[in-house]
Chain A
Amino acid sequence: MGDSQYSFSLTTFSPSGKLVQIEYALMAVGAGQTSLGIKASNGVVIATEKKLPSILVDEASINKIQSLTPNIGVVYSGMGPDSRVLVRKSRKQAQTYQRLYQEPIPLSQLVRETAAVMQEFTQSGGVRPFGVSLLVAGFDDNGPQLYQVDPSGSYFSWKASAIGKNVSNAKTFLEKRYTDDMELEDAIHTAILTLKEGFEGQISGKNIEIGIIDDKRIFKVLTPAEVDDYLAEVE
């Protein structure tokens, strides 16, 4: 990929054995708006702040949470444009699998392929790593699952996780509140409370996004009205 003049990797080892470009990419993620995900016994919820740079922006035009397949959704923290590339590639990978095997792709395999793409960009010539971490949520034959993928291309399955700005507070909060037998409705409430923790300003259905998947295996993004209903329940 790229011009032959750049057929050497831009991500190289420092004398101490670190890949500094990846560390810097993680800083870009850390500067991004907070996102989190919680796996419940019967579903998964992912949520993010949707802070817009100005009231002039039409918030209905922005969808941070996207679906990759009908039963898999994703949210990011970090550089929005980079996330679009990954969403596009993942969707294509899912379709390729579907065409070949006539079956929906298992979540773990889609995550693995997406992570492989991210790893490529840390090693190929003339490119920089992606400045995003992804939280991928889905429900397949292995039940509800939540994965986090980092700019390095490493990925783990999580019971609950947070990425972006307020990550340490959010994770502490989640550790306290998480229980293994949590149900999806509880998880949604916990997700909202976690976002509220670090939220500057008035939280509403217009400045957060929530995506859920339950045992009916259809990923959907809640409308601002539905989010407002959950916010009212949490009060």
Chain B
Amino acid sequence: MSRGSGAGYDRHITIFSPEGRLYQVEYAFKAVKAAGITSIGVRGKDSVCFVTQKKVPDKLLDQTSVTHLFAITKYIGLLATGMTADAKSLVAHARNEAAEFKFKLGYEIPVDYLAKRLADKSQVYTQHAYMRPLGVSAMLIGIDDEQGPQLYKCDPAGHYFGYKATSSGSKEQEAVNFLEKKIKNNPQLSYEETVQTAISCLQSILLEDFKPTEIEVGVVSAGKPEFRVLSTEEIDEHLTAISERD
């Protein structure tokens, strides 16, 4: 039978360490980084997009089945960075929440409310010993009726914030530094600028130029509020625009 603090179990389950930290939660954050990919989200004036690397480790894998982008409803997209199976669990929960909300209340779930529900679920895992925190950081995008374009991120600790731009994954800090410079003067980014800022951020921090099949891009915009994953042709257009601009 395992005993609590005093026997070193503050590293095994989510109880407090002597400094008041939760090691299991901190390790969950490390698991997000260990996934080896970086994701970027950028919010523009009337659109939001997120981008992630698409690493297919084996040539025999069916590429179309490798994805980190998920539609939660017709209007909300989720980008999960971290452990794949935990991501699928989170997505299933999110879809359930959204569907129940629509059924009970009669209108589409707002992005910030969905983010809150996901974060609340993650918080439960940080407080109850019987379930470990999920090793996933989730970005949500959608167009809100009242607030306009929204980008939210939920992490394993149960935090959630709205962002103008953000990133998760192995090169999170480098990406944040890049984005802070870009967003500093509160630019009102158009749809193209939003997508291209996100893609060029990823290219810049990873120091490589992508082929369209190496990244995944998801967008929502005020004119077309349905969540869409861009096709390889559309990604190629943006990549070309970026390389011509530089």
Pairwise interchain contact A2-B20, C-beta atoms closer than 8 A: no
Given known A-B contacts A54-B180, A81-B119, A85-B120, A61 and B126 have beta carbons under 8 A apart: no
Residue A98 at the chain B interface, CB threshold 8 Å: no
Complex contacts, A127 vs chain B, CB 8 Å = 127-129
Contacts of B20 in A (CB 8 A): 24-31, 131
Is the CB of B36 closer than 8 A to any CB of chain A? no
Residues from chain A with a CB closer than 8 A to the CB of B157 are: 79, 81
Interfacial chain B residues near A30, Cβ < 8 Å: 20
Residues of A within 8 A of B212 (CB): none
Give 1 or 0 for each of B68-83: 1 = CB within 8 Å of chain A CB: 0000000000000000
Measured CA separation A57–B161 after assembly (Å): 7
Q: Does A126 contact B (CB under 8 A)?
A: yes
CB pair A57–B127 under 8 Å, yes or no, is no
Q: Which residues of A contact B21 (CB under 8 A)?
A: 28
Q: Is the CB of A25 within 8 A of B123?
A: no
Contact of B19 with A82 in the complex, beta carbons under 8 Å: no
**Could you tell me how many residues of chain A have their Cβ less than 8 Å away from some Cβ of chain B?**
44
Most buried by A among B4, B165, B184: B4
Contacts of B124 in A (CB 8 A): 85
- Segment of A8-16, A196-204, A208-216, A221-229 engaged in the interface with chain B: A8-16
**Residues of the B chain whose Cβ atoms lie less than 8 Å from the Cβ of A9:** 4
Q: Is the CB of B123 within 8 A of A21?
A: no
- When the two chains form the complex, which single residue of B4, B127, B161, B179 contacts A12, counting CB atoms closer than 8 Å? B4
Residues of B within 8 A of A85 (CB): 120, 123-124, 127
**Which B residues from 5 to 27 make CB contacts under 8 A with A?**
5-6, 13-22
B176 contacts the other chain (CB 8 A): yes
**List of A residues within 8 angstroms of B4 by Cβ:** 9-12, 21
Q: Are B180 and A58 in contact (CB under 8 A)?
A: no
CA distance A8 to B15 in the complex (A): 13
Whole-angstrom CA separation of A12 from B22 in the bound complex: 17
A92 interfacial contact with B, CB 8 Å: no
Q: Shortest Cβ distance from A137 into chain B, in angstroms?
A: 23
The residue of chain B having its C-beta at the shortest distance from the C-beta of A19 within the complex is B5
Q: Specify the chain A residue showing the minimal Cβ separation from B43.
A: A58
Q: Which residues of B contact A29 (CB under 8 A)?
A: 20
B3 contacts A by Cβ under 8 Å: yes
Q: Given A8-B1, A56-B180, A24–B6 Cβ distance below 8 Å? A: no
Given A27-B16, A58-B164, does the pair A81, B158 have CB atoms closer than 8 Å? yes
Given contacts A12-B3, A85-B123, contact A62 B161 (CB under 8 A): yes
Q: B29: shortest Cβ distance to chain A, in Å?
A: 13
* Closest B residue, CB atoms, query A129: B16
Per the bound structure, the CA–CA distance linking A12 and B18 in Å amounts to 14
Which residue in chain A gives the minimum CB-CB distance to B21?
A28
Are A58 and B129 neighbours in the complex by a CB distance under 8 Å? no
A10 touches B129 (CB 8 A): yes
B184 contact set on A, CB distance < 8 A: 55
B123 touches A81 (CB 8 A): yes
Chain B residues with Cβ below 8 Å from A60 are: 162
- A residues 6-49 touching B (CB-CB < 8 Å): 6, 8-12, 14, 20-21, 24-31
Whether a CB of chain A sits under 8 angstroms from the CB of B112 is yes
* A128 engages B130 (CB within 8 Å): no
Q: A143 to chain B: which residues have CB within 8 Å?
A: none
**Do A58 and B127 touch (CB < 8 A)?**
no
Closest residue on chain A to residue B158 by CB atoms: A81
8 Å CB contact of B6 from A14, A25, A129: A14
B102 on the interface (CB 8 Å rule)?
Answer: no
The contact sample of 15 A-B pairs, CB cut-off 8 A, is A2-B128, A2-B130, A10-B5, A21-B5, A21-B16, A24-B5, A25-B20, A26-B20, A27-B18, A56-B179, A57-B166, A58-B43, A58-B161, A62-B161, A128-B127
Q: List 8 additional contacts besides A2-B130, A25-B16, A61-B152; criterion CB under 8 Å.
A: A6-B130, A24-B5, A28-B20, A57-B164, A81-B159, A84-B116, A88-B120, A131-B22
Q: Using a CB–CB distance below 8 Å, which chain A residues touch chain B?
A: 1-3, 5-6, 8-12, 14, 20-21, 24-31, 52, 54-58, 60-62, 79-82, 84-85, 88, 121, 126-131
Interface residue ranges, B against A (CB under 8 Å): 1, 3-6, 13-22, 43, 112, 116, 119-120, 122-124, 126-130, 152, 157-159, 161-166, 176, 179-180, 183-184
Shortest Cβ-Cβ A-B pairs, 3 listed? A61-B162, A81-B158, A27-B20
